[in-house]
C-alpha cells in the first residue's frame, strides 16, 4: 500500500520538472528572460554619442527600445523611437509604432551597424557599456 503514494509523488515530481523545463531540458524562465543590449550611437564619426538600449522581445523580430534623450542632437526625431525591428536580412529599424522606420541600419564591417536611411547623417551603432 505504501508503494502507491510513492509512485504518485514520483509522477508529480516528474510532471513538475517537465512543466518547468518545457520538456526540453532547459528552464523556461531562462528562455523568457532576454538580456537587454546596450549600444552607443554616434553620428559621422563625431565624438558626440548617446545611449541606446534594446529591451525585451515583444514579438518575432520586434523588441522594445530605449533611446536616451540626448540622441536628438544626432538625429532629430530619433528620441520618439520605442521599437527595434530586426529583419531576416540583418537590417535593423527604429520606429515609434513598430512599423514606420525613423532610421534603418545595415550590418557594418566588423561589429555594429551603420545607417542608410535617412542618408544623412551617417549613424554608427556599436555595442557599448
The three-state (H, E, C) secondary structure of 20-89, written as one string = HHCCCCCCHHHHHCCCCEEEEEEECCCCCEEEEEEEEEEECCEEEEEECHHHHHCCCCHHHCCEEEECCC
Share of the chain above pLDDT 90, in %: 61
Model confidence at 48, pLDDT cuts 50, 70, 90, reads confident
Give residue 2's pLDDT band: very low, low, confident or very high (50, 70, 90): low
Kindly tell me if the per-residue pLDDT of 45 is higher than 80.
no
The 10s digit of each residue's pLDDT in 3-20 is 444 444 444 444 443 433
pLDDT at 24: 43
Per-residue pLDDT band for 47 (boundaries 50, 70, 90) equals confident
Mean pLDDT of the chain: 79
Read off the pLDDT band of 33 (50, 70, 90).
very low
Amino acid at each position: 500500500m505504501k508503494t502507491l503514494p510513492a509512485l504518485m509523488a514520483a509522477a508529480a515530481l516528474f510532471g513538475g520538472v517537465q512543466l518547468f523545463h518545457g520538456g526540453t531540458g532547459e528552464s523556461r524562465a531562462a528562455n523568457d528572460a532576454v538580456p537587454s543590449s546596450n549600444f552607443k550611437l554616434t553620428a559621422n564619426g563625431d565624438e558626440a554619442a548617446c545611449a541606446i538600449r534594446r529591451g525585451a522581445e515583444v514579438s518575432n523580430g520586434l523588441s522594445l527600445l530605449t533611446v536616451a534623450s540626448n540622441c536628438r542632437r544626432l538625429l532629430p526625431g530619433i528620441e520618439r523611437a520605442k521599437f527595434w525591428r530586426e529583419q531576416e536580412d540583418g537590417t535593423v529599424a527604429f520606429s515609434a509604432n513598430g512599423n514606420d522606420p525613423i532610421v534603418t541600419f545595415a550590418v557594418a564591417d566588423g561589429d555594429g551597424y551603420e545607417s542608410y536611411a535617412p542618408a544623412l547623417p551617417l549613424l554608427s551603432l556599436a555595442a557599448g557599456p
